[in-house]
Amino acid sequence: MMHDAPGEPTIRNDDEQDVQDATSASHAAADAGGAAEAAVPRPEARLEKAVRAAEQALIEFEIALETFRVEVENFSRLHHQRLGPMYARLDELDAMIAEARAARTGDPADVRRAEEARALVQPMPGVEELFHDWLDSEGLSPEAAAMLTDQPVRPPKRVRPSDEARKLYRDLARKAHPDLAQDDKERARREEFITRVNAAYGRGDEPLLRELTEEWAAGPAPEEHRRSESEELYARLEWLSHRKELLTLVAKELEESAIGAMLRMAPDDPDRLLEEIAEQLLAEVSERESQLAQLAR
């Protein structure tokens, strides 16, 4: 026989089971309510998802644009460095051929053409020619900056950086892109860093890209930010849209440039294109020299 403690209510076995059942039902209802509440998405969830998707799409577009810009710039420099002397030789041969023909015929029209051809060999420099190789799209070219700072000049080795350099660059751009910043301070930090990344990629500098990868990994972790409000998300989408429009114009300008058009002729191996152009120029030089030799007889 059991005695209840003084001051405590008596609970029979069947009453105790009822209490347990009620408690279990209460917990189940609470869990169901919590699950239902968790299943209801936040009003800003879809908008936030759209913003994140737009950010990633813009970053991928900028990566593609920057890799193409690097190839255009490298191709232009290597084209000038390797093929410039051949073009100059062709101009000189054209002038010599025109002069030889004018000397043989004495025709005033031939004399005029000879004078025009000679003028093309040594033209009067204009403003752009005076600053050629000193200024580029980023201001002072690397060669000019190196001369002014007594640093060694490091021209690009090839048009398209190595596969490893491209992989390192893309990974860094996806992690450190300024468009991922949530405030001005973080954007400034990312812009300074990505500028160095772009410069290293432009030179195809794999060791430096690896160092930058380690630097970013060891850098300060981005601060936690509260979820954006609807107005901020809409503003972000609008900014991303304007940014995409500007980049589209830049991409169009690059693609329609003379160098861009040449690169489209060899999208898989632009370095081979330089070799093919060199071979064509050598053939033209040989043909001009033969033509000049015939006129000199």
Q: How far apart are CA 287 and CA 224, in angstroms?
A: 68
Residue 155 lies in a domain: yes
Confirm whether 73 is domain-assigned: yes
Interatomic CA distance for residues 257 and 75, integer angstroms? 12
For residue 227, being part of any structural domain is answered with: no
Total domains in the fold of the chain:
1
Q: Which residues of 162-185 are buried (b: 16+ CB within 10 A; e: fewer)?
A: eeebbebbbebbebbbbbbbeeee
Spatial separation of the C-alpha atoms in residues 219 and 176, rounded to whole Å: 11
pLDDT in tens, 247-266: 888 888 888 888 888 888 88
- The answer as to whether 25 is a domain residue is no
CB 247 within 8 A of CB 202: no
Question: What whole-number percentage of the chain has pLDDT above 90?
Answer: 18
The single-letter DSSP state of residue 6 is T
Higher pLDDT, 138 or 63: 63
Min mean pLDDT across 76-85, 151-160, 182-191, 208-217 is at 151-160
Q: How far is CA 261 from CA 18, 72, 164, 266, 273, in A?
A: 83, 10, 26, 9, 12
Residue 228 scores a pLDDT above 60: no
> What pLDDT score does 171 carry?
92
Per-residue pLDDT, 45: 83
Residue 290 resides in a domain: yes
Nearest to 229 by CA among 182, 186, 184: 182
Q: Is residue 191 part of a domain?
A: no
pTM beyond cutoff 0.85 = no
Q: Is 12 a domain residue?
A: no
Phi, psi (rounded to 5 degrees) for 282: -60, -40
**From its phi and psi, is residue 219 left (phi > 0), alpha (psi between -120 and 50) or beta?**
beta
DSSP output for 43-71: TTHHHHHHHHHHHHHHHHHHHHHHHHHHH
Whether pLDDT at 112 is above 90: yes
Is 113 among the domain residues? yes
Residue 128 has pLDDT above 80, yes or no: no
CA 219 – CA 230 distance, rounded (Å): 31
Looking at residues 225-237, what average pLDDT do you find?
A: 69
Q: Which domain holds residue 74?
A: 45-160+233-296
Residue with tokens 């050629």: 132
Instruction: Report residue 148's pLDDT band, with 50, 70 and 90 as the boundaries.
Output: very low
Residues 73/202, Cβ–Cβ less than 8 Å: yes
